[in-house]
Amino acid sequence: MKIVLAITGASGSIYGMRAYDLLASEKSIELSTIVSKGALAVAKAEGIALPPFGGNVHEETDFSAAFASGSNAPDAMLVAPCSLKTLSAIANGYCDNLVSRSAEVCIKEGKKLVLVIRETPLSPIALENMLKLSRIGVIILPASPGFYSKPKSVNDIADFIVGKSFDSLGVKNSLFKRWQTWQRK
């Protein structure tokens, strides 16, 4: 399975970092990663040291990446975290970097696209952009963790969101405790 992971400049690069660790270690997955300039700026501002993403990693200006062409579309793309700027670019077909171009390719080729949006509160503009994409099959997955899995660490909280995004992508995982009726007791 060919997957593109894009990390953009919303707060919470931990989502992208956890997704990278897990996808890169899965032998059946051919992973390509894009780290936007915004992601680098936010990680710096938040004091997060992004790892040296290995393998097939691209800057946002690299339109020559194979998956930027519909003739070599990935099977799925995950944007985690996804900023409102990238959401807007995707919703409006404004392909000014490799993230929005790859998302456009996924949409036009009928491939899975999952956006882990991070912002609060949400403006009518952001809500309209999300609704527009949801109506054409893009999965809008807000970074809004559930607590029924009883997380014990920040990693557990991040893994809830990453696990849900993997469910949407079709990547099997046991990253979070799923709800069982016995948990009501």
Residues that bind ligand FMN (CB under 6 A): 8-11, 36, 38-39, 41-42, 45-46, 83-86, 118-119
Q: Which is nearer to ligand FMN, 23 or 80 (CB)?
A: 80
Q: Would you give the distance in Å from CA 15 to the centre of its chain?
A: 8
State which residue, 46 or 128, has the beta carbon closest to ligand FMN: 46
Q: How far apart are CA 148 and CA 183, in angstroms?
A: 8
Q: What is the CA radius of gyration of the chain?
A: 16
Strands 76-82 and 112-117: parallel
Q: Rounded to the nearest whole angstrom, what is the least distance from the CB of residue 160 to ligand FMN in the complex?
A: 18
The least CB distance from residue 20 to ligand FMN, in Å, is 16
Is residue 4 within 8 Å of 74, Cβ to Cβ? yes
Residue nearest ligand FMN, CB atom distance = 38
Whichever of 86 and 165 has its CB closer to ligand FMN, that residue is: 86
Q: Tell me how far, at minimum, the Cβ of 15 lies from ligand FMN, in Å.
A: 11
Nearest Cα to 56, choosing from 25, 34, 40? 34
Of the two residues 123 and 183, which places its CB atom closer to ligand FMN in the complex? 123
Minimum Å gap between C-beta 61 and ligand FMN is 11
* Among 120, 173, 181, 183, CA closest to 149: 183
Tokens 């009726």 sit on residue: 181
